[in-house]
């Protein structure tokens, strides 16, 4: 009796979970399929083709390249600025550090649209800056910085980096040597996780970028929005397919990495 | 060089970058919001002006419904996935969290592919129900889009919380004679409450600020981010756009501050 | 670089008040002799770790306090230039370096060549008994091995002072006892000035030339292990170190008057006193021959001895350690005897 009921509950939940997964995954598969179908309306019978992908490449190659440049530049800035700051915030502690942490985390709460508006109102008058991709970079740095800082800080509190720092100091290492020899090498898991986050988020950032871009500084997601509005479904799908191809390896890397970290801590 | 000096040096670039590209601009928005034709009344207009108020209520309702549905869906699926080990489970989890990094515009496109004029739902409903269901650009379509980006976020937090649940709590309740229903009502759901609050606030804040999805789908629906966008670009009503941005930012920030007070973990809104 | 085997350490008027206003340490003045092992002993929160961190240079004393190594004021010198070897409670071994790299790190910082580093590492792994582990990663080591690596690393640069902060606390009881002996031998071999912090009294007894018992940010007593054990200066020290019976009674011309009889003591005059008697100093004899009798309330057999609780003899139950062969059971009436020299009167009764 209870056995039957348990089986029913199990099956019900299983079907429900499958349906949710289907809701999330089916459209993504559809778009990948549509991107390589000759005519989506007729369906797969019309045959498979790479013509849409090629067309996307011809039309939008510059947006793809620009997205990568911005993502890597955002990564470079968040690394150089964020990692030392995460260290300082962690070891200093106290009210000042908490306030700084609070402020740099605000961009997670404030919608990108508002940040973009703020940047436009403040720097819109500096037309050289406004017109260059660096303007978009500034927005991406603000948006991704908390992910880098917090992911590195999480590692610092997990490995008790303060004591490692004191240990190195007791052996005679100067603050800079400690940072180079002990802090950074041991922060690697957090730096790597933060880097994956920064690149992934930057590549997919739309809310800020749509407001900040100019016709000459379009990024991939901006181009996507363009194509959804003005291109035939197959081209839009092919473009989305290109985006998936770029972003999925990053997502998989993040997943694998999170799993291996989880196992490592579980083993200890 | 002392340690104190060194750590101070480490903070200088961060403070410079954040001050220049976040703090100053945000202060500027607050000032601009109060310096249009209406002056500081622009802030009051968010609530007093019927058109803005309707949009605000619309957005709040949409975000609340999204949050409630995401929580319910994620709890059912999350409990199932953490309770049972079966072949293909890892794949299922991956599928449920896969859309996490999709930009809002892509989410909008996914809904178009599901419920648009050439969408799957329409194609299926035509032979089954005799009519083509097309609702991508309606309120239902927008809600579906919001659910699409909320579910993965919420499910991750809830699954993590379920994993951390002390199994002896449930065992103790059962030893005391509680049936499966009572165990859930009295032990498991209360223990998950912090995760509900945390992930609910994230879902809510994200939904409030979601621009990309609305940009793709909400051509005829007024939600706050779209209103800000049109005020800024089409009406060139910069002060009102700024005031609305400040209001939107405050609501989203308040929701997340609440979440953090309860969870203490990293909570982030994006998309 | 100072390569002598240790320095004298003087802590002068060092107090510590933290930024939030909590007072961790009242002004303390102390001297540590060259080559001596001084142990700070006390319950958690007594200020012993703060004391160690001030000597290390990890905390600054409140103004007016000074730390001197060989009469040289080092108060303003940061830890990285004090040449102190430190073993942390969590060991603070660098996970990104292997065992040999950890041990040789201080030498590398000082510009030592590879040959010099290798020979010093070989010397230290032999001294600490961890040969063969040189290329292991830290997460491949057991707790005891980590402790030895931490010690080898701390002494690699021949520090002026060796500071150990609860170095055995993270280990299980059996291992702790074994390493305590090894540590004692090692510290004597090195002959280096050592300051050791612990909350474990048997560790303090084994390792310390002198023990500083601390309580609530102040020194309760300084003395040799024997002094501290047999002549505690206060009720707190008596009760913190080992088991103690503290009897509040009236002393009347060489006799303590108790509910169960009387005890002869080396004290003239008349007055209220607090007398401390260790459980092992109380002998069990037949009640007929005794001046003090009581009733056995409980017997716990621990193998090497049996611990009795005897009611009715004093104002509160007495703890008595008896031989493990004594035939005694709950309810027996027993006679108690204590040598007058084993009764210690406490100040501030």
Question: How far is residue A107 CA from its own chain's centroid?
Answer: 14
Q: What angle do CA B252, B256, B258 make, to 5 degrees?
A: 120
Q: Pick C167 or C268 by higher pLDDT.
A: C167
Whether B233 is in a domain gets the answer yes
Q: What angle do CA A200, A202, A203 make, to 5 degrees?
A: 65
User: Are A117 and B205 a contacting pair at CB < 8 A?
Assistant: no
Rounded-to-integer distance, Cα B91 and Cα B97, Å: 10
A160 touches chain C (CB under 8 A): yes
The mean pLDDT of A88-109, rounded to a whole number, is: 89
Q: What CATH number corresponds to the domain at position A102?
A: 1.10.3720.10
Q: What angle do CA B46, A143, B163 make, to 5 degrees?
A: 100
Sequence-separated (6 or more) residues with CB below 8 Å from residue A65: none
Taking phi first (over 0 means left), then psi (-120 to 50 degrees means alpha), and beta for anything else, what does residue A219 get? beta
Looking at residue C13, what is its pLDDT? Answer: 94
A2 touches chain C (CB under 8 A): no
Among A172-176, B115-119, B222-226, C60-64, the least confident range: B115-119
CB A243 within 8 A of CB A189: no
Kindly report the nearest CA distance between residue B50 and chain A, in angstroms. 22
> In the numeric block, which tokens belong to residue A102?
């609070």
pLDDT band at residue B266, thresholds of 50, 70 and 90? very low
Task: Find tokens 């290390």 and name the residue.
Answer: C56
A141 plus A197 within the same structural domain: yes
pLDDT band at residue C349, thresholds of 50, 70 and 90? very low
Torsion angle, alpha carbons of C182, C188, C191, C195, to 10: 70
A24 plus A108 within the same structural domain: no
Chains that touch C (3 or more CB pairs under 8 A): A
Kindly report the nearest CA distance between residue A177 and chain C, in angstroms. 9
CB B184 within 8 A of CB B75: no
Among the partner-chain residues B14, B111, B268, the one whose CB lies closest to the CB of A104 is: B14
pLDDT band at residue B270, thresholds of 50, 70 and 90? very low
Rounded-to-integer distance, Cα B56 and Cα B47, Å: 8
CB B115 within 8 A of CB B122: yes
Rounded-to-integer distance, Cα B244 and Cα B213, Å: 19
Q: Which of A181, A176, A172 is nearest to C160 (CA)?
A: A172
Residue C147: CB atoms within 10 Å: 25
Q: Is B127 exposed, middle or buried (0-12, 13-18, 19+ CB in 10 A)?
A: exposed
The mean pLDDT of C266-288, rounded to a whole number, is: 90
Residue ranges of domains in chain C: 9-238, 243-345
Q: Which of B103, C323, C320 is nearest to A243 (CA)?
A: B103
Q: Which of A230, A254, B5 is nearest to C78 (CA)?
A: B5
Range of the domain at B65: 21-263
What percent of chain A has pLDDT above 90? 61
Residue A210: CB atoms within 10 Å: 24
Rounded-to-integer distance, Cα C331 and Cα C310, Å: 9
The mean pLDDT of B211-218, rounded to a whole number, is: 89
Cross-strand bridge partners of residue B94: none
Among the partner-chain residues A103, A138, A176, the one whose CB lies closest to the CB of B6 is: A176
CA distances in angstroms from B111 to A245, C229, C239, listed in the order given: 20, 80, 74
Looking at residue A258, what is its pLDDT? Answer: 75
Residue A206: CB atoms within 10 Å: 28
Whether A44 is in a domain gets the answer no
Count the domains in chain B.
1
The tens digit of pLDDT for each residue in C118-156 reads 999 999 999 999 999 999 999 999 999 999 999 999 999
ipTM, interface predicted TM-score of the complex:
0.87
User: Are B270 and A201 a contacting pair at CB < 8 A?
Assistant: yes
> In the numeric block, which tokens belong to residue B187?
């032990």
The mean pLDDT of B75-84, rounded to a whole number, is: 90
From chain B, the residues in CB contact with A199 under 8 A are: none
Among the partner-chain residues A166, A173, A182, the one whose CB lies closest to the CB of C58 is: A166
Sequence-separated (6 or more) residues with CB below 8 Å from residue C235: C246, C274, C276, C346, C348
Among the partner-chain residues B99, B110, B205, the one whose CB lies closest to the CB of A109 is: B205
- What pTM was estimated for this model as a whole? 0.84
From chain C, the residues in CB contact with A182 under 8 A are: 94, 96
The tens digit of pLDDT for each residue in C68-122 reads 999 999 999 999 999 999 999 999 999 999 999 999 999 999 999 999 999 999 9
Taking CA–CA distances from C110, the nearest residue in chain A reads A172
pLDDT band at residue B88, thresholds of 50, 70 and 90? confident
A23 plus A146 within the same structural domain: no
Question: How far is residue B264 CA from its own chain's centroid?
Answer: 18
Whether A40 is in a domain gets the answer no
For residue B194, pLDDT over 90 is answered with: no
C210-215 and C37-41 beta bridge pairing: parallel
Kindly report the nearest CA distance between residue A229 and chain B, in angstroms. 8
Looking at residue A1, what is its pLDDT? Answer: 52
Torsion angle, alpha carbons of C104, C106, C107, C109, to 10: 120
Q: What CATH number corresponds to the domain at position B179?
A: 1.10.3720.10
> In the numeric block, which tokens belong to residue B263?
């969870």
Count the domains in chain A.
2
CB A222 within 8 A of CB A16: no
Q: Which of A179, A163, A180, A172 is nearest to C107 (CA)?
A: A172
Q: What is the CATH number of domain C243-345?
A: 2.40.50.140
Rounded-to-integer distance, Cα B224 and Cα C134, Å: 63
| Superfamily of structural domain C9-238 | P-loop containing nucleotide triphosphate hydrolases (3.40.50.300)
User: Are B211 and A30 a contacting pair at CB < 8 A?
Assistant: no
Taking CA–CA distances from A165, the nearest residue in chain C reads C92
From chain C, the residues in CB contact with A160 under 8 A are: 90, 92
Looking at residue A264, what is its pLDDT? Answer: 53
A261 touches chain B (CB under 8 A): no
Looking at residue A263, what is its pLDDT? Answer: 55
Whether B268 is in a domain gets the answer no
CB C251 within 8 A of CB C270: yes
Kindly report the nearest CA distance between residue A171 and chain C, in angstroms. 5
Residue A237: CB atoms within 10 Å: 27
Whether B5 is in a domain gets the answer no
> Considering Cα of A82, then A86, then A92, then A96, what sign does the dihedral take?
positive
C9-17 and C23-32 beta bridge pairing: antiparallel
User: Are A172 and C81 a contacting pair at CB < 8 A?
Assistant: yes
From chain B, the residues in CB contact with A136 under 8 A are: none
pLDDT band at residue C339, thresholds of 50, 70 and 90? very high
Task: Please report the DSSP string for A20-51 in residue order.
Answer: HHHHHHHHHHHHHHHHTEEETTTEEEEEE-SH
Range of the domain at A167: 52-267
The mean pLDDT of A15-22, rounded to a whole number, is: 94
Rounded-to-integer distance, Cα A99 and Cα A193, Å: 24
What is the pLDDT of chain B when averaged over all its residues?
87
User: Are B29 and A114 a contacting pair at CB < 8 A?
Assistant: yes
Kindly report the nearest CA distance between residue A182 and chain B, in angstroms. 15
Kindly report the nearest CA distance between residue A257 and chain C, in angstroms. 18
pLDDT band at residue A233, thresholds of 50, 70 and 90? confident
Looking at residue C5, what is its pLDDT? Answer: 65
Torsion angle, alpha carbons of A141, A143, A147, A148, to 10: 10
A113 plus A67 within the same structural domain: yes
User: Are A205 and B106 a contacting pair at CB < 8 A?
Assistant: no
For residue A268, pLDDT over 50 is answered with: no
Among the partner-chain residues A34, A87, A210, the one whose CB lies closest to the CB of B10 is: A87
DSSP C337: E
């Amino acid at each position: 009796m209870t056995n039957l009921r348990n089986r029913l509950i199990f099956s019900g939940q299983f079907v429900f979970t499958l349906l949710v997964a289907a809701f999330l995954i089916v459209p993504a598969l559809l778009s990948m399929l549509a991107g390589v179908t000759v005519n989506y309306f007729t369906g797969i019978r019309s045959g498979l083709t790479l013509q849409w992908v090629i067309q996307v490449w011809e039309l939008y190659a510059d947006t793809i390249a620009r997205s990568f440049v911005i993502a890597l530049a955002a990564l470079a800035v968040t690394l150089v600025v964020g990692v030392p700051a995460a260290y300082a915030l962690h070891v200093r502690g106290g009210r000042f550090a908490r306030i700084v942490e609070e402020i740099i985390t605000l961009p997670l709460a404030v919608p990108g649209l508002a940040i973009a508006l703020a940047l436009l109102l403040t720097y819109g008058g500096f037309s050289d800056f406004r017109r260059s991709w660096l303007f978009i970079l500034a927005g991406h740095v603000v948006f991704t910085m908390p992910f880098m800082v917090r992911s590195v800080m999480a590692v610092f509190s997990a490995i008790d980096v303060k004591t490692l720092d004191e240990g190195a100091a007791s052996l005679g290492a100067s603050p800079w040597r400690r940072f180079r020899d002990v802090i950074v090498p041991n922060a690697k898991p957090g730096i790597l996780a933060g880097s994956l986050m920064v690149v992934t988020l930057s590549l997919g950032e739309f809310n800020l970028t749509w407001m900040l871009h100019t016709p000459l500084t379009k990024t991939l997601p901006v181009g996507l929005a363009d194509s959804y509005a003005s291109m035939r479904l197959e081209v839009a799908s092919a473009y989305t397919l290109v985006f998936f191809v770029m972003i999925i390896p990053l997502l998989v890397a993040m997943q694998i990495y999170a799993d291996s970290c989880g196992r490592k801590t579980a083993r200890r | 060089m002392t340690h104190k000096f060194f750590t101070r040096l480490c903070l200088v670039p961060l403070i410079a970058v954040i001050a220049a590209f976040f703090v100053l601009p945000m202060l500027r928005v607050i000032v601009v919001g109060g310096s249009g034709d209406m002056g500081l009344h622009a802030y009051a207009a968010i609530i007093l002006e019927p058109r803005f108020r309707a949009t605000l209520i619309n957005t709040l309702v949409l975000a609340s419904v999204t949050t409630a549905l995401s929580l319910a869906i994620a709890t059912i699926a999350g409990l199932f996935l953490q309770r049972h080990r079966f072949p293909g489970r890892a794949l299922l989890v991956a599928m449920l969290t896969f859309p996490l990094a999709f930009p809002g515009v892509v989410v909008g496109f996914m809904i178009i592919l599901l419920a648009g004029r050439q969408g799957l739902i329409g194609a299926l409903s035509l032979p089954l129900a005799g009519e083509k269901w097309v609702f991508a650009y309606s309120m239902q379509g927008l809600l579906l889009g919001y659910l699409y980006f909320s579910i993965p976020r919420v499910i991750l937090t809830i699954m993590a919380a379920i994993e951390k649940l002390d199994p002896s709590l449930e065992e103790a309740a059962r030893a005391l004679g509680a049936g499966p229903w009572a165990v859930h009502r009295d032990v498991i759901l209360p223990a998950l409450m912090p995760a509900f609050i945390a992930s609910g606030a994230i879902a809510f804040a994200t939904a409030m600020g979601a621009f990309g999805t609305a940009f793709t789908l909400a051509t005829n629906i007024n939600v706050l981010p779209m209103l800000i966008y049109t005020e800024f670009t089409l009406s060139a009503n910069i002060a009102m756009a700024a005031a609305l941005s400040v209001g939107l930012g405050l609501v989203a920030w308040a929701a997340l501050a609440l979440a953090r007070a309860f969870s203490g973990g990293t909570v982030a809104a994006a998309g | 670089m100072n390569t002598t085997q240790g320095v004298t350490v003087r802590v002068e008027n060092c107090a510590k008040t933290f930024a939030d206003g909590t007072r961790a340490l009242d002004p303390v003045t102390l001297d540590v002799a060259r080559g001596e092992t001084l142990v700070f002993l006390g319950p958690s929160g007594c200020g012993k770790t703060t004391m160690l961190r001030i000597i290390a240079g990890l905390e600054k004393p409140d103004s007016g306090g000074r730390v001197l190594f060989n009469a040289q004021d080092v108060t303003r010198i940061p830890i990285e230039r004090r040449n102190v070897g430190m073993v942390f409670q969590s060991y603070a071994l660098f996970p990104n370096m292997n065992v040999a790299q950890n041990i040789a790190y201080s030498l590398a910082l000082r510009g030592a060549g590879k040959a010099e580093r290798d020979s010093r590492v070989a010397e230290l792994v032999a001294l600490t008994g961890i040969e063969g582990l040189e290329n292991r990663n830290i997460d491949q080591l057991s707790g005891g091995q980590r402790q030895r690596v931490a010690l080898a690393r701390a002494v690699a640069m021949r520090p002026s002072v060796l500071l150990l902060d609860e170095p055995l606390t993270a280990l299980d009881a059996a291992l702790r006892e074994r390493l305590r002996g090894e540590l004692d031998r090692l510290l004597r071999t090195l002959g280096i000035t050592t300051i050791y912090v612990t909350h474990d009294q048997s560790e303090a007894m084994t390792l310390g030339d002198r023990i500083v018992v601390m309580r609530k940010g102040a020194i309760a007593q300084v003395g040799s292990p024997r002094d501290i054990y047999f002549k505690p200066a206060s009720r707190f020290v008596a009760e913190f170190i080992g088991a103690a019976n503290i009897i509040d009674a009236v002393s009347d011309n060489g006799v303590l008057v108790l509910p169960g009889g009387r005890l002869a003591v080396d004290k003239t005059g008349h007055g209220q006193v607090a007398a401390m008697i260790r459980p092992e100093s109380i002998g069990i004899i037949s009640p007929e021959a005794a001046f003090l009798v009581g009733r056995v309330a409980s017997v716990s057999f621990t193998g090497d001895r049996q611990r009795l609780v005897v009611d009715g003899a004093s104002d509160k139950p007495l703890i008595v350690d008896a031989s493990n062969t004594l035939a005694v059971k709950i309810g027996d009436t027993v006679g108690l005897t204590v040598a007058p020299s084993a009764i210690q009167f406490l100040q501030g009764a």
